[in-house]
Amino acid sequence: MLLYLHGFRSSPQSYKAQLTAKTLSALGMQRWWRCPQLPVSPREAAQLALAEAESLLAGPRWPGCPDGPDGLTVVGSSLGGYYATWLAERLGCRAVLLNPAVLAARALAAQVGEHQMYHSDAPMTFLPEYLDELDALHVPRLTRPERYFLIAATGDEVLDWRDMRDYAAGCRQHIIEGGDHALSGFERWLPLVLAFANLPAPPSPASP
């Protein structure tokens, strides 16, 4: 089972989320996949992510899926990676962190104010109190590094990849030389994500 958490100002319409959804659908696994639209409030986003994870854990399992949190992987992109870390520590599940905002309150301090969502014309307001909500979700140390997989690009133009590398010391890491914050070309790394989640490999583009 897989829960995908998008980043700041993003949505389930992001390229990575859509590619993951289409791949799992092609594998016949769409019922074991969730990608909610996260609220702007970090506290509300964490609560929604937790509810979605608990719903997956309480539902039917695909054949061969382990019982309990071992059967769930949370994939988080950017700010979603921050939430995924909090969720993995709370539930004991796996987490894949894609260019995660490991120091989210610091990274978003300059984003207080009015914005527009990336995939729609909808406005959004990031309030000053949301920084305190982010601080409340901070995980200072990963307690079970073997449950985490970091994918980070050295060319990330938004966040410092070295913060990610250092935070995830002891975890499995795939450092991409160059690249960008969006992880353009994510189809090259999605098989690594699925393998870490113990899910089948995506079908080849040449497959019928």
Q: What are the structure tokens assigned to 25, written together? A: 């659908």
List pLDDT tens digits, range 108-147: 999 999 888 777 778 889 999 999 999 999 999 999 999 9
Other CB atoms within 10 A of residue 178 CB? 8
Nearest 10 degrees: Cα torsion 165, 38, 144, 173: -30
Residue 207 included in any domain: no
Domain hosting 139: range is: 2-196
Distance of CA 96 to the CA centre of its chain: 6
pLDDT of residue 42: 97
Stretch among 6-10, 105-109, 144-148, 157-161 having the lowest mean pLDDT: 6-10
Q: Average per-residue pLDDT in the chain?
A: 91
Q: Is-contact 4 14, C-beta < 8 A?
A: no
Residue 205 included in any domain: no
Identify the band that residue 208 occupies on the pLDDT scale cut at 50, 70 and 90: very low
Q: Is-contact 85 74, C-beta < 8 A?
A: no
- The answer, yes or no, to whether residue 41 has pLDDT greater than 60, is yes
Residue 203 included in any domain: no
Taking the C-alpha atoms of residue 79 and residue 14, their distance in angstroms, rounded to an integer, is: 14
Nearest 10 degrees: Cα torsion 33, 137, 184, 73: -30
Share of the chain above pLDDT 90, in %: 73
List pLDDT tens digits, range 48-59: 999 999 999 888
Residue 190 included in any domain: yes
pLDDT of residue 206: 39
Q: Is-contact 43 93, C-beta < 8 A?
A: no
Residue 9 included in any domain: yes
What CATH number should be reported for the domain holding residue 137?
3.40.50.1820
Residue 145 included in any domain: yes
More confident residue, 61 or 68: 68
Which ranges of 96-176 would DSSP assign to H, the alpha helix? Answer: 104-108, 129-136, 161-167
Q: How far, in Å, are 8, 30, 48, 125 from residue 39 at the CA level?
A: 10, 23, 8, 11
Average pLDDT over residues 59-68: 76
Q: How far, in Å, are 55, 75, 198 from residue 64 at the CA level?
A: 19, 20, 10
pLDDT of residue 120: 78
Residue 27 included in any domain: yes
What total number of domains does the chain contain? Answer: 1
Q: Is-contact 178 153, C-beta < 8 A?
A: yes
What's this model's pTM, rounded to 2 decimal places? Answer: 0.92
Please give the backbone phi and psi of residue 42, each rounded to the nearest 5 degrees, phi first: -60, -40
